[in-house]
Amino acid sequence: MLSCAFFGHRSFEYSKYREKTKGIISELITKFGVTTFYDGCRGDFDLFCAEIVGELKVEFPEIKLIYILSYIPQNKLLLPKIFDESMYLLEESVPPKYAISRTNRKLVELADYIISGTYCTFGGAYTAQNYAKRCNKRVINIFN
């Protein structure tokens, strides 16, 4: 079972990259056999990608979209309908200040492919993208 994770900026208008991103995701499914997509749902890029995967589930009912949690929910989690399940990756207790960056590292280690929506050289998404490259993961940036 091959998987893909998404890392991008919290605030950016990605809509003009919709067809390109949908094509990349479709190719991962059809040519490489990716069936699991991990999404943290923390910003514009995550939401953008989750919507595309949700649309593709009609054409490819075998794919799953998993909501990656950076924090343990304090109350019962109401999972958005687009997601099939949720997952918390951290094994140890992490101060909230470090939860997202540690989750991102674990997510890079878990995923086979990374789709990136980063255009600048700073921030958590950029750090995760670079970590993925150091881990020899295939990183596909929608801006290239």
Q: pLDDT tens digits, residue range 95-112? A: 989 999 999 999 999 999
For each of the chain's 144 residues, which pLDDT tens digit applies? Answer: 999 999 999 899 999 999 999 999 999 999 999 999 999 988 899 999 999 999 999 999 999 999 999 988 778 888 889 999 999 999 887 898 999 999 999 999 999 999 999 998 999 999 999 999 999 999 999 998
Domain, as residue range, for 68: 2-141
Helix, strand, or coil (residue 78): coil
CATH number of the CATH domain containing 73:
3.40.50.450
| Cα–Cα distance measured from residue 56 to residue 136, given in angstroms and rounded to the nearest whole number | 27
Q: What b/e sequence results for 83-121 when a residue is b if at least 16 CB atoms lie within 10 Å of its CB, and e otherwise? A: beeeeebbeeebeeeebbeebbbbbbeebbbbbbbbeee
User: Which alpha helices (DSSP H) does 33-135 contain, by range?
Assistant: 44-59, 96-110, 124-134
Total domain count, the chain: 1
